[in-house]
Amino acid sequence: MRDISDDCWICPNALLDQKYGLRLEVPEPGFILLKTNNPCLEWLYWGVNIALLAGGSTFVHAAGVAKNGEAVIFPSWGGVGKTALVARLVKEMGWTLLGDDLIIISPDGQCYGFPKPMVLYPYHKNVFPEVFSKGKGPVAPVAMNGWLSKVAVGVKPLLRPFPKLLQFAREHNPQSVRINPSTVFGLDNLCRVAKLKAAIWLDRVEGLPEAKFIAKEENMSSRMMGSTIREQNARCVLTTNIAMGLGIVNNEHFYDSWIRCLDSALQGRAIHTLYLPADMPVSELPEVVCMVLSDQKLLEENRLGSCSCN
């Protein structure tokens, strides 16, 4: 293999990401193989999405809930408050959870649950008091989040050659904890599949005095794709572009497939945007969002009830 850039080595049918300790290769047509010597979470979800796109579906960086076989998803950036919102909808309003960070969507608008572990931060204390009261929440104060994030970025590369030590650090991170949705909500409140009813983009805006609802969003496919890529590891994204140059990844089954899937899935669905003040506390966001969506008839009372898709 030859070094093409930044610890990335290539040969005609394989690519080695030496920095993350992962090899991507095509052992035979139609198969992509990921080999790694450590719990490389950066490549895990990105690699799953490469496989999903080859089959015509995709991850969406969004929170999603369902009721009566219909799904409402909230695509956005990280840190907007999606986890707090779905917690309110599931615990108090009878919805079931597809996922709080990633869901899978197919071209026909089917939304598949992907209940990956939720990441809880100190500001989630008022959202999940039952978790924190049992001593299962993060112990670091909110004021230390920024400093600890910088420390984590610097420490992770040092621990990567030692998988067990890296896993220990993840499990004992004072800034955040990972907890399974089934532990918080119960298995009966998780949904496997539901048909997309509405997609509501959530965003925070500096200087905005109150929530602002936009009845139609013209660029939802592009925004959903962009935010999903943004939440993935930048090195994985760049390396996949190199893999395209090698012919390991076919763009027909990647970027082209991605936008086609989203355009098709959103066809005929309600598509909106909800802007929120940047300084709105996470604990207040669910009440404001639910009030706005109820006013817009997106959380109709006659929809309340158990989900038929469990």
Query: Is the torsion defined by CA of 119, 44, 95, 302 positive or negative?
Result: positive
The length of the chain in residues reads: 310
3-class SS string, 161-195 = CCHHHHHHHHHCCCCCEEECHHHHHCHHHECCEEE
Q: What pLDDT is stored for residue 301 in this prediction?
A: 44
Mean pLDDT of the chain: 87
Q: What pLDDT is stored for residue 28 in this prediction?
A: 83
One-letter identity of residue 55: G
What secondary structure letter does DSSP report for 148? H
Question: What gap in Å lies between CA 103 and CA 113, rounded to an integer?
Answer: 6
Q: Name the stretches of the chain with pLDDT < 70.
A: 139-153, 155-157, 159-163, 169-172, 300-310
Q: What pLDDT is stored for residue 257 in this prediction?
A: 95
Q: What is the pTM of this model?
A: 0.86
Q: What pLDDT is stored for residue 305 in this prediction?
A: 33
Strand partners, 178: 119
Distances (CA, A) of 25 to 47, 135, 160, 207, 251: 12, 43, 21, 48, 16
b vs e for 33-45, b when ≥16 Cβ sit within 10 Å of the residue's Cβ? ebebebebebbeb
Q: What pLDDT is stored for residue 165 in this prediction?
A: 74
What would the pLDDT profile of 81-105 be if each residue is shown by its tens digit? 999 999 999 999 999 999 999 999 9
What would the pLDDT profile of 189-207 be if each residue is shown by its tens digit? 999 999 999 999 999 999 9
Q: What pLDDT is stored for residue 269 in this prediction?
A: 94
Long-range contacts of 143-148 (CB under 8 A, 24+ apart): 144/175, 145/121, 145/175, 148/174, 148/175
- 258 token code pair: 């991605």
Q: What pLDDT is stored for residue 191 in this prediction?
A: 97
- Residue 98, judged by CB atoms within 10 A of its CB (0-12, 13-18, 19+), counts as buried
Q: What pLDDT is stored for residue 95 in this prediction?
A: 96
Tokens 């966001």 locate to 285
